[in-house]
Structure formats: C-alpha cells, structure tokens
Structure 1
Amino acid sequence: MSTLPAGYRTVDVPAERLAEFRGTDQLAFAGTPDPEIEKLLPFPIRQDRLMAVEGPDGAFAAVHGSYDFVMPVPGGEVACSGLTWVAVRPDHRRRGLLTSMIRTHVERSLDRGEPVSALFAAEAAIYGRFGYGSAADDVRLTLPRRAALRPVDGADALTVHLERVDQDRHGELVEDLYVRAGDGRPGWMPRATPALRARTVGDPPAWRHGNEPLLLVTVRDGEEVRGLALFARKESWGESGPDYTVKVRQASALDPAATYRLWSFLLDLDLTTTVETPMLPVDDALLQLLVTPRPSRRRTADNLWVRLLDLPAALTARRYAAPSDVVLEVTDALLPANAGRWRLAVDASGTADVSRTGADADVRLDVRELGALYLGGRSATALAAAGLVHGERTSLDGLTATFGSSLAPVCPWVF
C-alpha cells in the first residue's frame, strides 16, 4: 500500500458510515443527496468492498468501492473487480490519495483472486497512468421518427405488449433477456445482485428529468418473450405541434425478427419526433438494419477500461481467435510481477499457455495497451501506428488476429 501524507490513513467503511461515504462522493461529483432514491433503491455495493481514506480530522477525505463481477471475455469469463465510486474531496486533492486508493484496490482485488479490473472513467485522462487501457467503445444514436429499417423475415408474426414497469414483477425478466441477448459478447456484465437489478428497473421521480414513468414493451412469439425495451417519453410541443422525445434505457432482443419488431415499435410512437438509443455496441444489429444512418446523430464514446492485475491468469482466462506463438515484453510500473517477457502460445483450439521466457521479444507494449487489447476490440497494428506498441508488422498483424473477437466488446450500463 502506498504511503499517505501524514495524518491520513486507509480504513474500511462500516455500515454506520455509509452516509458519510455517499456524502464524500456527492461532494466530489457535485451530487445532490436524495433520501427518496436512497429509500427506494438499495445501495448497490457490498459493505466489505467499500474503502475510504480518513483525513487528519477523522472524516473521509476520499472513497472508493468495487463490484465482484464475472466479466464475459472472448470464449469464457473472468473474475473482475469493477472499480467504482472513486472520489476525492475537492479540499484534499493533489496529495496522492487517488494513487493510494488505486494501490489499495489492486492489492485487495489480487487477494480476492480477481485477475482483472475494469471501470468506466468519469475523466478519461486519469486511469491510463494506472495501467487501465481503453478496451471498448459504445455508440448512441438520436434517430428521427419512422427511420426506415430493412425488412426481416418473421417479424410480422410477432406481437408487442406495452405496460408500466413494475419493479417486483419485471426485474427478473429484464435481466434474463439482457443476459441472453448479450450471450458471448465480451464486457457484457451481468447485473447479478438484487440491488443492481433494482436499479435497472428503478424509476424514482428524481431520475425522470421530465419524462413520464418508465414503460416496458415486450415482443412476443405467442407467450414467449423474444425482446423488450425500457423507455419513457418526454412531452414537448413546438410551433408545428408535438415534438416528443423517446429515451430508451435498455433494448434487448434474441433474434433478428425480434430486433426489427422492437425498434419498429420504438421508432413509430405517436407524438414523437426523435428516439434516443441506449449505449449500443459498435456492431449492434440496429446499425445494420437502418436503411440510411445519415439522418441520425451518432456519438461514439469510450466504454470499458480494463486493467490486467495478474497477467498470466488474465490471459489464460480467455480464448483466442487464431493460433499464435509470440513473445510479449510488458512494462508495468504499478505491478512489477507483470513486467518482463512472456510467451503467449495459443493452440488450434484457442487455448493459451502463458509462461516466462528469456527469448527475444516479438512485441513490446505496456500493460495499458495489453488491457486495451484484452476484450478483442482494439488492434495491435493500429496501436503500433500510434507508437504505443512496438514490433515487426507480421508480429503485430498476428497479435491483432489472435486477440480479435467476433463480437465487439461493450458494457451497456455504467457501473
């Protein structure tokens, strides 16, 4: 654990100090305490995964927590420590508290047997210096009403049903469709706890920002649900009439016909003029179905950031797209155990053996870039073009093919 300034110490967060933990985060992020939200929705992080730094006065100066995820990776899954609620009070900045918390997070994650950490970065410039690599992107679209979709066989046989969301009745259904729709997609984090599932379908008035109460539309083949979306409309009237916006929180479908039927419904609601999608993978089916994407407004943003904590355990947890026998020379300023030369030997089944070696390196890179490659959404060749990875072109192209994923990685909800 890194040395803190005199008078500061790292502490666990007991239940009686949870309000102080939340208050520290709210002060850092300019948040507003809302007792109604706290009453309706349980706090989502386990008590034993909350940490804080006390200042000289005994009050919390900085806080962080983590989720115990099982993260899908190409061909498998890996125990992942999802770093979250990272905050330093404005009057305690520039004293090394964040660096100390990252080291605490890394040490505790390794002690729990979690070889990978992941996060969403509130400020993208921060976490690269701690070895987190930008491993995935997401796309958000603003589409005009009646944006045309290419036809899909079987869609006309499906029916839709609309109702208000009920947290108790719909939580399990929403999570089940979400997990099944993302089967095999790297980064598609399950919301495995009741507290996280409650937040998925939770609808406190403070979250609505002028929208109506949350709605659920299901797409059915007989009684079987094949797709669903959580959404709400926002009333607005312009000089020429109704100008409503549809904001979609989640859209999940199990096959092309259900995808077509779901988005056809969302894109043609009365009184509306625009539809805002949730975070989508960059290869989402909706992007392929649009007859023309040009009328849409498209925003691409960084999604998951990934940090390898135990390099050999992390690399052997996933499967690979092509055989390989490559020597990687890795630098890691935070975790020297990861640094050095590693032989990555991948057989025809995609299974990897990772071992120390004294052989000459084929590719040289920092653990940050290895984290960026980990989910299969980045190219070693492209990173080399930016001067971030080094090696001969044949080795770089081979590494890109080996690490590639047939599905673009994404986590469609922010943790």
Structure 2
Amino acid sequence: MSALPPGYRTVAVPADRLAEFRTTDQLAFASVPDPETEASLPFPIPQERMMAVEAPDGTFAAVHGSYEFAMPVPGGTVPCAGLTWVAVRPDQRRRGLLRAMIATHLERSLGRGEPVSALFAAEAAIYGRFGYGSAADDVRLTLPRGAALRPVPGSDALTVHLERVDPDRHADLVEDLGRRAGAGRPGWMPRAAAPLRVRAVADPPAWRHGFEPLLLATVRDGREVRGLALLARKEAWGEAGPDYTVQVRLAAALDAAATHRLWTFLLDLDLTTRVETPVLPVDDPLLHLLVDPRPARRRLADNLWVRLLDVPAALTARRYAAPLDVVLDVTDDLLPQNAGRWRVVADHAGSVDVARTTADADVRLDVRELGALYLGGRSAAALGDAGLVTGEAAALGTLTTAFLSPRAPVCPWNF
C-alpha cells in the first residue's frame, strides 16, 4: 500500500526498546516525561501491538500502537483495532512514514480479524485521507454552581458517599459501572485490559495541575452502587470569596434517578462556583435535565473516527433501525478489496446480508463517509447535502433511517 524510503524498515518493538518507543512519541508531541509517573503506571499498549519505523541508523523514526477492542455498534459489537500513539519524529517528517504506518496498521488489523479501526485524532485534518470518517461528537459543559435540574422521581431516596480514590479497590468498580451505564451506546469502548482500568483511576501528582487528590462519589440505593463520578476540586479565592472549580473526570449512572442524584451533588459542593463536566454524548441526560441550559458554556468536539477495513464484515456486525435494501458503490484508495458495489439487505428480524453485485448503485460514497455513518451518529442525507455522498433523495433517506442509532455514539475516554 505504501513503500518506505530506502534504508527505512518496519519493525516490531521488543520489550527492551519500550523506552525508545516512548521517547519517540514524547518528541513528536512535545510532551514532558515524568519518570515517577511513568514508573508508577502500567504501560497501556500490549507489546505485540507496538510497531515502529526504523531509520537507516537503526533508531526509531516513527511509532504507533493499537488496542484490542470489542466496539459497541448498533445492535451488537465488532472487533476493533484502536489506533493510538501515532508519532513521527519532527526531523523525520515528509517522508511518507505516516502513510506507511497506516498501511501496516490496516494490514495487521485485518490479519487479526478486526474489520474496523477507530481512533481519536490529535489533528482533525490528518486521518480523513486514510479513510477514517468522523463518526461521533462529544460535548463538555462548564456549569455554574447550583444549576437547577428538573425533578426525577426516586432521586431523593438515593444517597451519595464521597471518598478518596483507591485504585486497588475502585478500578474494577469504575469500569463495571461505566460499562453498564453505556450499554447500548455505540462507541462506548470498554477498558477490558487491566492496564487501562488502572490508568482510568490513576492520580499521580503530575496529573493534578493544582487540583486536590482524586475523589470518588458513589450514588447508592442501600448497598448497591447506581452511579459514580471521579472528581477533584481546585482551591481559589477571589475578591468575593471562594472561587473553586470542580473538575469531573468521569460520570456514569444506570438510570435517570441516579443521574439526577449524582449531578445534584456535583453541582452544589461548598466553596465552588463552577463545575466542568467530562466528555458527554451530545444527547446526555444532563442536557435534558437542566432547567436553564443557557448559562452553560458548551464545547463541541469530534470524538471517534472510524475506518472500515472489511466492508461486508463490518456492515454485517451491526443492526439497522429499519429494513434496508440498497446498493452502495464504495471507493477505497488504500484497500481496493473494499471498492465496488455492495448490496446491503437488512430486515426487522436482524438478518443482514452484504454481497457483491453488478446492479446499478443507489448511493455512491467513499469508505471515509461509510465510516462516518457506521456508528449511527451521522445522516446520509446530510452528507448528501454536503456533496460527500451522492444518490437519489429516496435512497439517501432510506440509508439515513436505517443507519441511525437511537443513542448518540461516543467514547467517554480518549485512547
């Protein structure tokens, strides 16, 4: 798919070169290493999924890795390669190394039976040219203390317990509750690997930036935990008195009553004036519960980018909101086996069939737009209005209805 310059070669990263792998990434992202933090946390990428491009002098010129995910999609899950730690040294740019690494990633992912890849884009303009489509958005809110919520029956009967985070006791609780809270939401990646669960509740001093040690708030119905949040406060004093900020790293709840009780607590802590939410889906219950949403400052951002590596396997892994019988003409510059016309047939019973066809196409699109549609958070009709997907209005409408998810896709943590 893409050749390296003479003298460069793709290599697996052995255990004794992990430090060089990390240094290459740190140099590319201008990140300052903290040896104490690095020593205290497990490295998250499995060794067998770390790759590098070696320069002619034998040093790493570029690196990348991936995670093994079971990515939730409408109606099920799909094996997914979560591309991460993609870095090219500043003095090795403009040599085609990124393109070669993407080619390696796609080939290895397909070899492992992963028909989909996903990532968070450090720079949004990069990955579209490799077939990744922006498939989800997220929103962060900054709310004033005391922001009122509409009442929810049962909220008052729940209690809240606050304690310092203990990674040994809380890592599995946070992951389990978060996974259950996100059930049915496309893109809500579970942290199946232990290093990722540990890092979710890690709180090294270098990460605090003036905030207190991490706290865990749990919403309980008796002994049962129904919701939780990871949070920390930052002390500040102004002319009018206390001006603390509450920073919520993670918030999850199993039902409306637990959601209401959790945010009622977080929005009314003593000494505070503002609350910063974590990444939320664009249809999060909190957005509907606010009595007055206007004072909230909102920041909308792209979330997951999705790339289909095996079109028929990916499309048959998910379910559709309405019956579908459409012929898609797909272009794919990097994986020619995906290109061409595919007939996609789905029924109310959940049966899906995707097969090659010589029939006339109803809709024409690039694999990038197919990735954007895949999690159900984008509209084929809207992409048609933008000129990125072509077809008759009726076909685009049918595709939109069938692909949409009842819950907006999101991944609540950045990998």
TM-score, normalised relative to structure 1: 0.99
Equivalent residue, structure 2, for 1:10? 10
> What does the per-residue CA deviation read over 1:197-225, in whole Å, with 9 as the maximum and x for residues that have no partner?
01100000000010000000000001111
- Structure 2 distance, partners of 1:170, 1:327, is 48
**Runs of 4+ displaced beyond 3 Å:** none
> What does the per-residue CA deviation read over 1:349-369, in whole Å, with 9 as the maximum and x for residues that have no partner?
233100000000000000000
Shift, 1:347, TM fit: 1.2
Q: 1:10-409 counterparts in 2 under 5 A?
A: 10-409=10-409
Amino acid at match of 2:204: P
- Structure 2 distance, partners of 1:253, 1:376, is 22
* Paired residue secondary structure (1:129): helix
- Structure 2 distance, partners of 1:27, 1:220, is 45
Contact 1:321 1:350 in 2 (8 A): no
Shift, 1:2, TM fit: 2.1
- Structure 1 distance, partners of 2:93, 2:278, is 34
- Structure 1 distance, partners of 2:62, 2:214, is 34
> What does the per-residue CA deviation read over 1:130-189, in whole Å, with 9 as the maximum and x for residues that have no partner?
000000000000000000000000111000100000000111111111000000100000
- Structure 2 distance, partners of 1:236, 1:198, is 30
Aligned-residue CA RMSD (Å): 0.6
- Structure 1 distance, partners of 2:349, 2:278, is 35
- Structure 1 distance, partners of 2:119, 2:233, is 30
Contact 1:323 1:350 in 2 (8 A): no
Contact 1:215 1:232 in 2 (8 A): yes
- Structure 2 distance, partners of 1:5, 1:33, is 30
- Structure 1 distance, partners of 2:2, 2:389, is 29
Answer with 1-10 or 197-206: which moved more.
1-10
The unaligned stretches of length 5 or more in structure 2 are none
> What does the per-residue CA deviation read over 1:10-33, in whole Å, with 9 as the maximum and x for residues that have no partner?
001000000000000000000111
Amino acid at match of 1:231: L
Answer with 33-42 or 92-101: which moved more.
33-42
> What does the per-residue CA deviation read over 1:78-135, in whole Å, with 9 as the maximum and x for residues that have no partner?
0000000000000000000000000000000000000000000000000000000000
Amino acid at match of 2:168: D
Amino acid at match of 1:284: D
Answer with 138-147 or 2-11: which moved more.
2-11
Amino acid at match of 1:142: T
* Paired residue secondary structure (1:180): helix
TM-score, normalised relative to structure 2: 0.99
